[in-house]
């Protein structure tokens, strides 16, 4: 499956940048989620790659083929990009059976394709099956009722499923069985001679046949602009139905299926034409919570089984975390981070990413202080003096200079053209019991001594020996874990305690951060500086 390369991809509507200079390499066989809050440009990005939206600038390559290039004037339409779509409103045709819903699109395909000999292919397949006579009769015997009568539909499905054959081949095999003409030796001899006759006819026309039944002439695979054969259509329908486990519903109408089953049919319909890339725009958002979870598992399996590249749009960070090989996190049309889910969770590049990823959200704490002798000496929560000891990090001055210059580079870009939507910094949340007004520093007053500490809830370690003290503000046990909020002065911290634990509201507790996984960001540039440890030095 192909690699997708986006270069300087931009979509602009007048002064509004929906997607701004996006550069991305989507590796073969990956499962990418485009993630971000509402309006950040996810759907626009997906639609541009798929060919449903024309970018303003940039280029798109799919599998080495340039499908869009604003400078070279290339724009291959969506139906020629070999891509499949699955949207949240998957609308199956109500007047068609499941089989017809899946096969309908296949009947309309007409393109250059190799020519196969399905007669020889099916004869050989039947020979293989009949050579294992005992197994074959056992399969059919399993489908007899108490009176020894074959239940035809069940038997057909069983054969299709077990031997991965089409319904036509299954019918022929059942005819042999039901008419008691099951002298396998004789049938095999007849099938072989029919094959030899066809091969001789080909030879007379200087045509030979490959192991996978494609025809060859003058050393070249014969290719024809043709429609799919009914045998090919049936094999494809059966193959995709097996993958999404709907083989038994082929004759039902959509209104005779549950929501999850309908969604599976929609997936099968999308997979049937073998798209190079599968685009999914919030395909699970219409399903209830339980079904969503089930379908997530199905999608993960589907990705492995089909070996395709999946591009998935969601605003649900949990869905992105659990499904993707990589997350492409967008905000306000700009790429924030493109990495494996856990790397994003553990090392978010900036405050926006740290806050967007993770449930419950990360605790963000404003800090002020100086960097001396490889350590940050800081004041947090108005009156606590703490030390942040960085892990594998040196030379903050240099880091700050570099980070500031990168930000001002971006600013230059921002002001070069009018970007109506690019003039605000991310307003990160600081949890407090009561809101204060007028105390928030303006961006232009911030400097290299302003920081934000980030603590994931699982690193809040409530224990008697903890150096910090606080009070339980709320406690929400789920059985498996308890989400607890602790207040320190006017500030609130969220923690997750694993196991069946409860806390009394209002009780005094001690805590610390017993880990090297605490994050420190620059408040001025909002970028991650490094990870490290946070220890209390004194509390006034």
* Closest distance to ligand ATP from the beta carbon of 53 (Å): 8
| Three-state secondary structure call for residue 195 | helix
Which one of the spans 35-43, 80-88, 98-106, 440-448 is the region binding ligand ATP (CB under 6 A)? Answer: 35-43
Residues 6 or more apart whose CB falls under 8 angstroms from that of 325 comprise: 27, 30, 31, 32, 340
Which one of the spans 24-32, 33-41, 63-71, 206-214 is the region binding ligand ATP (CB under 6 A)? Answer: 33-41
Q: And the tokens for 531?
A: 């990870």
Among positions 30, 43, 103, 317, the unique one binding ligand ATP when judged by CB under 6 A: 43
φ and ψ at residue 36, rounded to 5 degrees: 160, 170
Q: Count CB atoms within 10 A of the CB of residue 482.
A: 19
Residue 13 or 415 with smaller CB distance to ligand ATP: 13
φ and ψ at residue 203, rounded to 5 degrees: -55, -40
Which one of the spans 32-40, 151-159, 215-223, 476-484 is the region binding ligand ATP (CB under 6 A)? Answer: 32-40
* Closest distance to ligand ATP from the beta carbon of 77 (Å): 19
φ and ψ at residue 451, rounded to 5 degrees: -135, 165
Q: Using an 8 Å Cβ cutoff, are 311 and 323 in contact?
A: no
> Which of 235, 233, 309 has its CA nearest to residue 275?
309
**Dist CA 116 CA 328 (whole Å):** 41
- 424 contributes a contact to ligand ATP by CB under 6 A: no
- The residues with which 4 forms a beta bridge, in sequence order, are 26, 62
Residue 43 or 195 with smaller CB distance to ligand ATP: 43
* Closest distance to ligand ATP from the beta carbon of 37 (Å): 7
Residue 39 or 114 with smaller CB distance to ligand ATP: 39
**Dist CA 354 CA 363 (whole Å):** 9
Residue 17 or 468 with smaller CB distance to ligand ATP: 17
Site for ligand ATP in 436-455 (CB under 6 A): none
* Closest distance to ligand ATP from the beta carbon of 44 (Å): 3
Cis peptide before 360 (omega within 30 of 0): yes
Among positions 4, 6, 36, 60, the unique one binding ligand ATP when judged by CB under 6 A: 36
Residue 20 or 234 with smaller CB distance to ligand ATP: 20
Site for ligand ATP in 308-327 (CB under 6 A): 315
Which one of the spans 11-19, 97-105, 189-197, 507-515 is the region binding ligand ATP (CB under 6 A)? Answer: 11-19
- 332 contributes a contact to ligand ATP by CB under 6 A: no
Residue 231 or 331 with smaller CB distance to ligand ATP: 331
* Closest distance to ligand ATP from the beta carbon of 9 (Å): 12
Residue 170 or 284 with smaller CB distance to ligand ATP: 284
**Dist CA 283 CA 218 (whole Å):** 47
Q: Using an 8 Å Cβ cutoff, are 462 and 495 in contact?
A: yes
**Size, binding site for ligand ATP by CB under 6 A:** 12
> Which of 368, 282, 316 has its CA nearest to residue 85?
282
Q: Using an 8 Å Cβ cutoff, are 91 and 31 in contact?
A: no
Residue 32 or 140 with smaller CB distance to ligand ATP: 32
Kindly list the distances between the CA atom of residue 227 and the CA atoms of 118, 119, 235, 268, in Å, as whole numbers in the listed order. 14, 17, 15, 20
For tokens 């969770």, the residue is: 345
| Three-state secondary structure call for residue 210 | coil
Residue 315 or 524 with smaller CB distance to ligand ATP: 315
- 41 contributes a contact to ligand ATP by CB under 6 A: yes
Sign of CA dihedral 442, 448, 450, 452: positive
Q: What is the DSSP letter of 361?
A: P
Q: Where are the beta strands (DSSP E) in 90-133?
A: 110-114
* Closest distance to ligand ATP from the beta carbon of 481 (Å): 29
* Closest distance to ligand ATP from the beta carbon of 125 (Å): 46
* Closest distance to ligand ATP from the beta carbon of 534 (Å): 35
- 337 contributes a contact to ligand ATP by CB under 6 A: no
Residue 39 or 273 with smaller CB distance to ligand ATP: 39
> Which of 534, 536, 537, 530 has its CA nearest to residue 396?
530
- 38 contributes a contact to ligand ATP by CB under 6 A: yes
Residue 331 or 448 with smaller CB distance to ligand ATP: 331
Among positions 24, 26, 40, 209, the unique one binding ligand ATP when judged by CB under 6 A: 40
Among positions 42, 82, 238, 269, the unique one binding ligand ATP when judged by CB under 6 A: 42
For tokens 């070999």, the residue is: 82
Q: Contact positions toward ligand ATP, by CB under 6 A?
A: 13, 16, 18, 36, 38-44, 315
């Amino acid at each position: 499956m192909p690699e997708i390369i986006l270069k300087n991809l931009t979509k602009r509507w007048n002064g509004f940048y929906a997607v701004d200079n996006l550069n991305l390499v989507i590796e073969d066989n990956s499962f990418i989620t485009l993630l971000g809050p509402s309006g950040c440009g996810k759907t626009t990005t997906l639609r541009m790659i798929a060919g449903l939206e024309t970018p303003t600038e940039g280029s798109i390559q799919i599998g080495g083929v340039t499908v869009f290039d604003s400078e070279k004037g290339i724009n291959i339409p969506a139906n020629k990009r070999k891509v499949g779509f699955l949207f949240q409103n998957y609308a199956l045709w109500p007047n068609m059976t499941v089989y017809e819903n899946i096969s309908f699109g296949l009947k309309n395909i007409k393109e250059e394709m190799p020519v196969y000999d399905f007669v020889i292919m099916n004869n050989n397949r039947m020979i293989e099956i009949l050579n294992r006579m005992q197994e074959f009769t056992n399969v059919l015997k399993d489908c007899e009722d108490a009176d020894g009568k074959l239940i035809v539909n069940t038997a057909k499905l069983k054969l299709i499923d077990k031997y991965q054959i089409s319904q036509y081949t299954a019918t022929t095999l059942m005819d042999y069985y039901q008419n008691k003409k099951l002298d396998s030796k004789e049938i095999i001899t007849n099938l072989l001679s029919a094959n030899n006759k066809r091969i001789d006819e080909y030879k007379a026309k200087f045509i030979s046949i490959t192991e996978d039944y494609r025809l060859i002439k003058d050393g070249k695979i014969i290719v024809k602009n043709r429609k799919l054969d009914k045998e090919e259509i049936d094999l494809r329908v059966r193959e995709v139905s097996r993958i999404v486990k709907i083989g038994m519903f082929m004759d039902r109408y959509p209104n005779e299926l549950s929501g999850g089953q309908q969604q599976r049919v929609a997936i099968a319909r999308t997979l049937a034409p073998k798209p190079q890339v599968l685009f999914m725009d919030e395909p699970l958002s219409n399903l209830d919570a339980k079904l969503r979870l089930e379908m997530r598992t199905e999608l993960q399996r589907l990705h492995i089984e089909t070996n395709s590249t999946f591009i998935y749009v969601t605003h649900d960070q949990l869905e992105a975390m659990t499904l993707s090989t990589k997350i492409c996190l967008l905000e306000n049309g700009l790429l924030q981070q493109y990495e494996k889910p856990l790397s994003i969770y553990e090392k978010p590049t900036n405050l926006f990413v740290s806050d967007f990823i993770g449930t419950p959200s990360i605790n963000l704490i404003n800090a002020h202080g100086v960097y001396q002798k490889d350590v940050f000496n800081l004041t947090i929560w108005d009156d606590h003096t703490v030390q942040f000891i960085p892990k594998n990090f040196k030379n903050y001055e240099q880091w700050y200079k570099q980070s500031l210059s990168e930000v001002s580079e971006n600013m230059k870009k921002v002001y070069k053209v009018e970007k109506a939507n690019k003039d605000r910094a991310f307003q990160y949340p600081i949890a407090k019991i009561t809101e204060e007004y007028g105390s928030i520093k303006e961006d232009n007053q911030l400097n290299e001594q302003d920081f934000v500490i980030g603590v994931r809830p699982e690193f809040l370690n409530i224990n008697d020996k903890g150096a910090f003290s606080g009070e339980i503000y709320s406690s929400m046990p789920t059985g498996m874990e308890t989400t607890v909020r602790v207040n320190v002065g006017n500030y609130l911290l969220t923690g997750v305690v694993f196991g069946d634990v409860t806390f009394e509201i209002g009780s005094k507790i001690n805590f610390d951060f017993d880990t090297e996984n605490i994050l420190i960001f620059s408040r001025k540039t909002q970028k991650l500086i490094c990870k490290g440890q946070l220890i209390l030095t004194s509390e006034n």
